[in-house]
Structure 1
């Protein structure tokens, strides 16, 4: 375009701006390839450079009274767009001003007049469209006015946070009352993509347009508000950091002016490192961490981590030991002082101490006390510590699931600490305490690791000389720690862990042992704890025996101690109210702690058909249980109840098959026409194990042949399909349980005959033991019948 032609256009623009606007049906068009969308009632500048657009601009000025149709391209990257590359809806604008730029392009300032939709293209060397004007029809309702107010408020927030728009833009909105014009002005400054802005142009009703605008502005304002909050936080942290740096530098300068005094904390730590009785590798690690601490700010989080770490490694007893007592007579007295009975465990402990006194280089074995609750496992560990003159510490492993409790946490974690083993050793202040690991059979496994596997390194004498805690990252010698573990059962302890321990079984107490424990140990200890005169409360021997036999059936003495404490409290109350002395008689026992808890239902009154007495063994000790069976018309099914485990269910299946074999063909029709129901009472208590085999067979044969079972007999043994009786475990606990409940005869497998030697003489004298090889011998002893053979043929086996 020539200079003369451009000057003519400028003059024509100035002249036409003063004339009234009439929009023709056909107008030249410019395809906009920027993200700017021109709305009616707004003034927008844009640049024109493409040849087709310049022709359209010239045609608009010469033939169409400065009127022009602007429409956006769908893809701004297209250099030479066709009709299908354009949106259908655009804006009829009036050219307000034209200016030529040095690069040959033109800057055009236009005012939006009306929305329009092109319906047909007119052929030519530039875009020219036949247009259909789009007018919005609406009523000025209260809802529309409310929308205007909400958009105005939201726009104010947006302008405040964005900092991209001048506040003058808000003034136009404040003064505008026409909803249509207001919506167009708001759309022109509303953020959004090209598609979203085009949608606003295509929406005719101002209410719908304002709703869309509100949605877009609210979304952008929310993001800007979050950015503003983040900026504020960052600014505050920077200011705080700068302030701390300034104060630290000022403090450093003041110290230099005062004579360059060293930091007292650093100096104290350095003295501990150099003067402490620490191994060489520990000192080197401590010096390295101290140099790191000197270089960093004393207020930084990492400095606090280093301080804690130095505190741990400098206060551990790396070379501090307790002098051990090697006098076996002292050890024997200590064990006798605190424990009645337990001859075998005491003997094993003394043998262990004697061996240690001979060989100073012997690695400490890991002792594991196994027995039911309340038999004195923990107190035996405490007695060993007293006998050796060592410090005693206890750590409960019950429910432990996190491997870090043993190995410690790495220092990278927040709140990291060494494992509990190292914590207890620091608490003891010596490297050779007696450490009791209680309830080792009750550890668990979770996603946090397997603590039992972590204990292998701790308890293995070959490995624990250089035990590395993950927090310390330094080897600590645990070989001089005397580890003692306790468990209720062995089968819950992992085999690799069990292999590293020396098992000492602690049996249940007999009633006679409980009597002596109560009389000579529990009652005097209670009076000593209460600092009370023993003469004012006198326990008669028959009263103690009554408590043992009628109120407790436990393998240990915890419940017995609770009952005695309850009686002592009630006696002290009577003395406080004026009574001079209390003599605890059997009548007083019932008055103080109520009627007996243990009654005769633990044993049958007379021989009963289909009910046999079995012996069971669990973590809490031995017990007796009844096996009940009955037949009734049916289809030969087997029904099992009583919360039985899988192994016990299998025993019942084997017993059912064996019973059919024992009874012979004459009972085959009986089994086909009747259902069998086997029940083990106390249905809420889980029961499992193979040792009830012979008890179930006895009950079934009794039910089939209608022969009662001797109520004074209890039995335990695994059964095979051929009728052989196999050995079982827990004989001592089972026999003691039977003895406590008044059983006179016990049937056991022949291969268990040597286990009887471990049973106290008091029990063996009062019980008759029958050892059997097959089920025929069991039935011969257990069934009460006139015929010695009870109608059972051994040929059927």
Structure 2
């Protein structure tokens, strides 16, 4: 150990450690280091080289430096033109620094590290192990041959260990730990541990290099083979490159942009490779080319950004459609739920799959009530693309799932075609007329829809043509149907039913003024100031010229009037026209539908019932007459259920004849004839039970039935009054006929909420649970009139027929 000064200048270095016996060049650019070198040259030419703990510190203090460094003799100093200094030093010894002082440069007190005595045998064993480990690592080429030779030439095991540590790429902390280790045995043990780690790292690097090289070789081989294939195809085509170019590479580039799942990409790459190996004019090449074109044009990851502003969506729906409050509420509920889901997903509480799932709705109701058009408004409100798929009459499974590619002219199904035309994977898809699907030997398309309309399965929907799964879970499916009972139960179970009821007259009037009139005026070249309809004219047009649940025929009739007015304006006959109620006969002819009106007076054996059809509700009369004979006669084209209602009513009367003071012998000896007018129209349903029993009891007791009361409800043999359907339409039809009192089952009382308040306020409703309660309202005098025997009164004779002159002046009523 050479003799060293007690206090020496300090030169901090960054990211490196110098060990004793080494001769190294050190570059200094900081003023602190340059001043320390000058001080060393002016003194005993001894300087302390010590590493910084943090190499990013530009002006280090004593606390920023390690406590152990290397004392060095300065051999030579050279100043560079750029102001930096290069110093050649010879490392002498490991020293411990203390009492750092700061002036123009750092200085410190140093003391050599005292090494402990080592066991010669252990040191010899460690020496052999170190040489073997070093030879293994050196064989991988991590150290230059010159440095390897220098290290092997070292006889001193301590010097050899220091040179190995200096030449290998260890972390600064590990190199510093070796410098601070005064014991040679402990230092070599530490170095062997680092060499083991380095050897494992080199083994992993070698494995990675081999894998990368193998992949590169594979890609180069494929590239070489493809280039060979191009040359071969070029020679086969007579040296012409052709206009198509490298189709396979073009498809491969498109697939790279789609971000497909690995299993899907694997199948498509196989098709691309097949195309690359084929002659462009081969028939199979054309099939693959068409298939790849379809696949690359599908929106695998393209979505529309949902508009989640509930207020704006509500305004859009109100602007496009009048009424339909239940449908609008359901759409706004979907938007609200989607917004909350998105907010939770942004906080990491939900996955993207849960956010993107959409509902499956089915709109059911009569034609013309806006089922199809509301779907367009929903897409507009959501900010999504709209796709309509007409399923009416479809009877081939391939319409849904597509054809297999083995067939000539194979194409994907309508769903995939719609997705492609929309350009996004989350459009609003309307499955129109889903109740009119057919089936044949080619398959049942309704069964194919089971997978499409199941939220748990449609994310893996596989079209026969594509042959790979396509995610449909983000699309919003809406189906429409006129007759939901014709939809298979399994399919119906997957959908949420929203029922569209028929429009009332007030709604039709508003729709005509807001939407139908402006549309027809524009279609027929008229300006708003050239034609005007009064409200009375539109009301008569609705009630006397159309009979429908929706507004399609109403729009046609408005268009007819508009065309006739357009002709008059075009010929110069008039400049503008105001269409009134009286003008409709001129433009449209005689009224085609005369609504039924209530009876003019109370009559024996005549009760008023209500019926429902897909085009709205109305009233009907049940007439009963008795004559000598036997049995029950039913006329008026009654269906089986309605006939059974009449028989049940008669059985109930027989069972309660004594209570109603009716002679049973008279019932048995009379032919009871029940007739429902409008005999050309078939009638069916159980809801005429109340009207049947009222008409029969009225005819058998002579007590008149009230003409201002209409009833609906099913009766039982025990006298219970059971609920029915279509109450809203029936009540609206009765109101149109002038009825003021409505008898309905008690269980249907909640359905009255569907009727607008301003219509309910002009009528009186009588909820009943038993037939006795029905009779108490329907008969003149109520049940009290049945408490005492009454003389049977015949039906009133018809009024005297009008004179020939009066008949000629009265227009004939056209039968409905």
Shift of 1:590: 2.0
In 1, the alpha carbon distance for the partners of 2:745 and 2:431 equals 36
Q: Which of 315, 324, 328 matches 1:346?
A: 328
Q: Which of 233, 255, 260 matches 1:273?
A: 255
Question: Structure 1 pair 348/607, CA: closer, same or farther in 2 (3 Å)?
Answer: same
- Structure-2 residue corresponding to 1:479: 473
State whether residues 406 and 451 of structure 1, in contact with CA within 8 Å, keep that contact through their aligned partners in structure 2: yes
State whether residues 775 and 783 of structure 2, in contact with CA within 8 Å, keep that contact through their aligned partners in structure 1: no
Q: Which of 648, 653, 659 matches 1:654?
A: 648
State whether residues 663 and 792 of structure 1, in contact with CA within 8 Å, keep that contact through their aligned partners in structure 2: no
Deviations 1:171-216 (A, max 9, x none): xxxxxxxxxxxxxxxxxxxxxxxxxxxxxxxxxxxxxxxxxxxxxx
Q: Which of 502, 505, 521 matches 1:508?
A: 502
After TM superposition, the score normalised by the length of structure 2 is: 0.62
In 2, the alpha carbon distance for the partners of 1:489 and 1:260 equals 57
Q: Which of 427, 431, 434 matches 2:425?
A: 431
- Structure-1 residue corresponding to 2:443: 449
- Residue 520 in 1 paired to residue 514 in 2? yes
Deviations 1:467-501 (A, max 9, x none): 11222221111111111122334433333333332
- Residue 598 in 1 paired to residue 593 in 2? yes
- Residue 760 in 1 paired to residue 742 in 2? no
State whether residues 400 and 449 of structure 2, in contact with CA within 8 Å, keep that contact through their aligned partners in structure 1: yes
- Structure-2 residue corresponding to 1:534: 528
State whether residues 663 and 701 of structure 1, in contact with CA within 8 Å, keep that contact through their aligned partners in structure 2: no
Question: Structure 1 pair 261/376, CA: closer, same or farther in 2 (3 Å)?
Answer: closer
Question: Structure 1 pair 448/700, CA: closer, same or farther in 2 (3 Å)?
Answer: farther
Question: Structure 1 pair 681/479, CA: closer, same or farther in 2 (3 Å)?
Answer: farther
Question: Structure 1 pair 259/521, CA: closer, same or farther in 2 (3 Å)?
Answer: closer
State whether residues 544 and 595 of structure 2, in contact with CA within 8 Å, keep that contact through their aligned partners in structure 1: no
Deviations 1:405-424 (A, max 9, x none): 22223334444322212221
SS in 2 for 1:651: helix
Shift of 1:341: 2.7
In 1, the alpha carbon distance for the partners of 2:406 and 2:306 equals 39
In 1, the alpha carbon distance for the partners of 2:477 and 2:715 equals 40
Shift of 1:430: 1.1
Shift of 1:680: 3.9
State whether residues 316 and 426 of structure 1, in contact with CA within 8 Å, keep that contact through their aligned partners in structure 2: yes
- Structure-1 residue corresponding to 2:396: 402
- Structure-2 residue corresponding to 1:613: 608
State whether residues 636 and 682 of structure 2, in contact with CA within 8 Å, keep that contact through their aligned partners in structure 1: no
- Structure-2 residue corresponding to 1:672: 668
In 2, the alpha carbon distance for the partners of 1:416 and 1:598 equals 51
State whether residues 441 and 488 of structure 1, in contact with CA within 8 Å, keep that contact through their aligned partners in structure 2: yes
State whether residues 727 and 752 of structure 1, in contact with CA within 8 Å, keep that contact through their aligned partners in structure 2: yes
Structure 2 spans left out of the alignment, 5+ residues:
1-230, 343-353, 790-816
- Residue 589 in 1 paired to residue 584 in 2? yes
Q: Which of 737, 744, 759 matches 1:741?
A: 737
- Residue 316 in 1 paired to residue 312 in 2? no
- Residue 495 in 1 paired to residue 477 in 2? no
- Residue 692 in 1 paired to residue 674 in 2? no
Shift of 1:464: 1.1
Equivalenced residues, count:
544
- Residue 769 in 1 paired to residue 751 in 2? no
Q: Which of 308, 320, 330 matches 2:312?
A: 330
In 1, the alpha carbon distance for the partners of 2:584 and 2:243 equals 75
Question: Structure 1 pair 723/604, CA: closer, same or farther in 2 (3 Å)?
Answer: same
Shift of 1:278: 4.0
In the TM superposition, 1:174-185 aligns within 5 A as none
Question: Structure 1 pair 788/277, CA: closer, same or farther in 2 (3 Å)?
Answer: same
In 1, the alpha carbon distance for the partners of 2:618 and 2:407 equals 49
SS in 1 for 2:608: strand
In 1, the alpha carbon distance for the partners of 2:333 and 2:305 equals 20
- Structure-2 residue corresponding to 1:286: 268
In 2, the alpha carbon distance for the partners of 1:260 and 1:437 equals 44
Deviations 1:671-694 (A, max 9, x none): 333344444444554443322222
In 2, the alpha carbon distance for the partners of 1:433 and 1:792 equals 71
State whether residues 780 and 790 of structure 1, in contact with CA within 8 Å, keep that contact through their aligned partners in structure 2: no
Q: Which of 696, 706, 717 matches 1:710?
A: 706
Shift of 1:555: 2.7
State whether residues 366 and 500 of structure 1, in contact with CA within 8 Å, keep that contact through their aligned partners in structure 2: yes
In 2, the alpha carbon distance for the partners of 1:658 and 1:446 equals 48
State whether residues 489 and 619 of structure 1, in contact with CA within 8 Å, keep that contact through their aligned partners in structure 2: no
State whether residues 639 and 675 of structure 1, in contact with CA within 8 Å, keep that contact through their aligned partners in structure 2: no
In 2, the alpha carbon distance for the partners of 1:301 and 1:702 equals 83
- Structure-1 residue corresponding to 2:338: 356
Shift of 1:641: 4.9
In 1, the alpha carbon distance for the partners of 2:282 and 2:476 equals 41
- Residue 626 in 1 paired to residue 621 in 2? yes
Question: Structure 1 pair 348/253, CA: closer, same or farther in 2 (3 Å)?
Answer: closer
In the TM superposition, 1:176-255 aligns within 5 A as 253=235, 255=237
SS in 2 for 1:535: coil
In 1, the alpha carbon distance for the partners of 2:289 and 2:325 equals 51
State whether residues 607 and 710 of structure 1, in contact with CA within 8 Å, keep that contact through their aligned partners in structure 2: yes
Deviations 1:119-171 (A, max 9, x none): xxxxxxxxxxxxxxxxxxxxxxxxxxxxxxxxxxxxxxxxxxxxxxxxxxxxx
State whether residues 405 and 419 of structure 1, in contact with CA within 8 Å, keep that contact through their aligned partners in structure 2: yes
State whether residues 660 and 667 of structure 1, in contact with CA within 8 Å, keep that contact through their aligned partners in structure 2: no
In 2, the alpha carbon distance for the partners of 1:792 and 1:640 equals 32
In 2, the alpha carbon distance for the partners of 1:273 and 1:722 equals 73
- Residue 440 in 1 paired to residue 434 in 2? yes
State whether residues 536 and 580 of structure 2, in contact with CA within 8 Å, keep that contact through their aligned partners in structure 1: yes
Shift of 1:583: 1.2
In 2, the alpha carbon distance for the partners of 1:496 and 1:295 equals 46
Question: Structure 1 pair 318/649, CA: closer, same or farther in 2 (3 Å)?
Answer: farther
Structure 1 spans left out of the alignment, 5+ residues:
1-248
